[in-house]
Amino acid sequence: MENISVKFLKEVEPKNAVLIEGLPGVGNVGKLAAEHMIDELDAEIFAEIYSIYFPPQVLVNDDGIAEMVCNKLYYKKNAGEDDIDLIFLTGDYQGMTPQGQYLLTARVLEIVKEFGVDMVYSLGGYGQGSMIDKPRVLGAATNHNLVEKGKEFGVVFDKEHPSSGIVGASGLLLGLGKRLYDIDGLCLMGETSGYFVDPTASRAVLEILLSLLNIEELSFDALDDKAEEVESITNKFMEMDPSSGVGQEGKSEHLRYIG
C-alpha cells in the first residue's frame, strides 16, 4: 500500500465547490457538524482515504463487521440558494503524527484543487475548560476579506483566542491551502467545555456556516436530540457526584461514545 491510499468510489465533477472539513477534535464539534450536514443534505461518499498515519485499527460495528479506520470525502451538488457544490471531509481520526497530519492534509488539498476548489471551511471546537452556556463561534481566516465577511455573519475574531494558534487539520487546511495550494480558508470554532462531545457547539458553528453558504433548508432536529442526550447523561453524572466536577477522565471517556 502507499502511505496514503485514496480509493475513489464514484466519479464526481464538482463546480464552484467549497471544501468543508469536520474531522474529530475538541468536543468533536467539527465532526458532528460536518456529519450533520452530510446526513441532512444527503451528500454521497465518493472517496475513502486509508493511510499508515492513522491508527492501525479496525472499528467493529454492532453487527460484528470490521471497518478499517479512514477518512471520507462526500459530495453534494447544487446545495442552497446559490447552487454551490459542497465537498465534505470527515472520518474516524486525524493523522496520528505531525508528519501524518501534514501529508494527509496536503493530499486532500491536492484532490480538491484538482476539482477547482478555492475555498475551505474548517470546522472545530475551541475548548474553554469551563461549561459554556451560549457558545460563540471563534474564527481565523487566510485573508482580511474573509475576516470581514466572517464578522458580518457573527464570527468572533478575538485577539485573545486562539492565542497559540490552531493545531491539526483545521489549521493546516488554512495554512497549507494558502501557502502551497492557493486555496483560501475560514476556520470556525464553536466554544465548548472540552469535556464532552458538544452538539450545541456544532449547531452554533453550522448556523453561521449555513448563512455564509446561503443554505436555508436544513433541520437541526437530529443535532438537538443528540444535545439533549448528552445533557441528560451529563446531568446524571453531576447528580451522582456533584463535587467532582465534570472534567474527570472517566466521564468524558464515556461521553465520547455518544455522537
> Which residues contact its own copies by CB under 8 A?
1, 3, 5, 7, 48, 50-60, 62-70, 95-96, 98-99, 101-103, 105-106, 139-144, 147, 150, 157, 159, 162-169, 171-172, 174-176, 178-180, 185, 187, 257
Nearest CB to its own copies, comparing residues 164 and 243: 164
Give Cα separations from 131 to 30, 56, 126, 185 (angstroms). 18, 34, 12, 29
Residue 49 vs 218, nearer CB to its own copies = 49
Residue closer to its own copies by CB (options 16, 97) is: 97
The distance of closest approach from Cβ of residue 243 to its own copies in the complex, given in angstroms and rounded to an integer, is 26
DSSP structural state of residue 137: E
Q: Which residues contact 176 (CB under 8 A, 6 or more apart)?
A: 102, 105, 106, 109
Residue 53, SS3? coil
**CB atoms inside a 10 Å sphere around CB 171:** 19
Q: What cell numbers appear for 31 in the block? A: 465532526
Question: How many angstroms separate the Cα of 242 from the Cα of each of 71, 196, 214, 247?
Answer: 38, 16, 43, 11
Minimum distance, C-beta of residue 152 to its own copies, in the bound complex (Å): 13
CB of 98 vs its own copies, minimal distance in Å: 5
In eight-state DSSP terms, residue 127 is E
Cell digits of residue 63: 453487527
In Å, the largest CA–CA distance within the chain is 55
Nearer to its own copies among residue 76 and residue 107 (C-beta): 107
Q: Cβ 131 to its own copies, closest distance in Å?
A: 24
Closer by beta carbon to its own copies, 69 or else 233 = 69
CB of 1 to its own copies, least distance (A): 4
Nearer to its own copies, 98 or 116 (CB): 98
* Minimum CB–partner distance for residue 34 and its own copies (Å): 19
Q: Evaluate whether 151 touches 141 at the Cβ level (below 8 Å).
A: no
